Amino acid sequence: MEAEGTTFRTGVNAGVDVTGEQLQSEFDAIVLAGGATAFRDLGVPGRELGGIHQAMEYLPWGNRVQQGDIDAPPITAEGKRVVIIGGGDTGADCLGTAHRQGAEMIHSFEITPRPPDARADSTPWPLWPLMMRTASAHEEGGERVFSVNTECFLGDDNGDVRALRAHEVKQIPGKFEFEKVEGTDFELPCELVLLALGFVGPERHALFDQLGVELNQRGNVARDAQWMTNVPGVFAAGDMARGQSLIVWAIAEGRSAAASVDRFLAGETALPAPLSAV
């Protein structure tokens, strides 16, 4: 609910253009839904070379081209040898986009072993099954390489990536740790590297301190069963509070948080709340 005399604003960087204190003085309720945008990086020699990008530095441009906002993306796979480091949905999105941009060759690296084709005995129902999954982008082409770790990137005279050096690994049983397989070193030429290594939570934004909200042990915004943070009137929903997940969860969380906001403002609500916050 807006305080009297306020207007709806777009293109505002909350915490910079407008402070948390200003938001609290103007609005009766605030919902934090900024996503989990702090990406996991790959700290190996050569990371600073040109042509090495985070997946989310690359993917949005393809959407902007399709929407007609720009004619051509500033980062493109056209005619390039591409390596995508990291699997999952984001890696598959990079793969599909690189295919459509006309990449010459694409390799997708994953440090974990190739999953079995059928559900592994270690993940019986109702656990999420450990098994090989093939997205539509994988069916279009490219080579998936499992049990491999990138040691460093190699550059050309212009300061751009020209290749990477990697080796095979084996996973230590029962742990998410890996050992190098000696004698398996190799170099792979590439002009574009996309890092799809997942996210570690929301960016540590100045707005958090300005509002005084607390974070949980995972670094996400903490909330109670009513979707409210430790600050009365400040709610949190989506990846910013849940952690990296799918858009369907964000939609369901947004609807559920809206019901709690409605109840907070009006004392009751008829809005649907498909999820519980805890």
What domains lie within the chain, and their CATH numbers?
Answer: 20-37+205-266 (3.50.50.60), 52-195 (3.50.50.60)
Q: What is the pLDDT of residue 13?
A: 84
Contact 200, 40 (CB under 8 A): yes
How many angstroms separate the CA atoms of 253 and 261, rounded? 12
How many angstroms separate the CA atoms of 202 and 39, rounded? 9
How many angstroms separate the CA atoms of 100 and 78, rounded? 9
Q: What is the pLDDT of residue 1?
A: 44
- Say which DSSP state 120 is in: -
In the block, tokens 């993940």 appear at 123
How many angstroms separate the CA atoms of 162 and 36, rounded? 31
Q: What is the pLDDT of residue 2?
A: 47
Q: What is the pLDDT of residue 54?
A: 96
- The separation between the first and the last C-alpha atoms of the chain, rounded to the nearest angstrom, is 25
Amino acid at 180: K
Mean pLDDT of successive 10-residue stretches along the chain, which has 278 residues: 54 86 95 90 97 96 91 96 94 96 97 93 89 92 96 98 98 92 98 94 87 92 96 96 89 96 96 87
In the block, tokens 């600050």 appear at 231
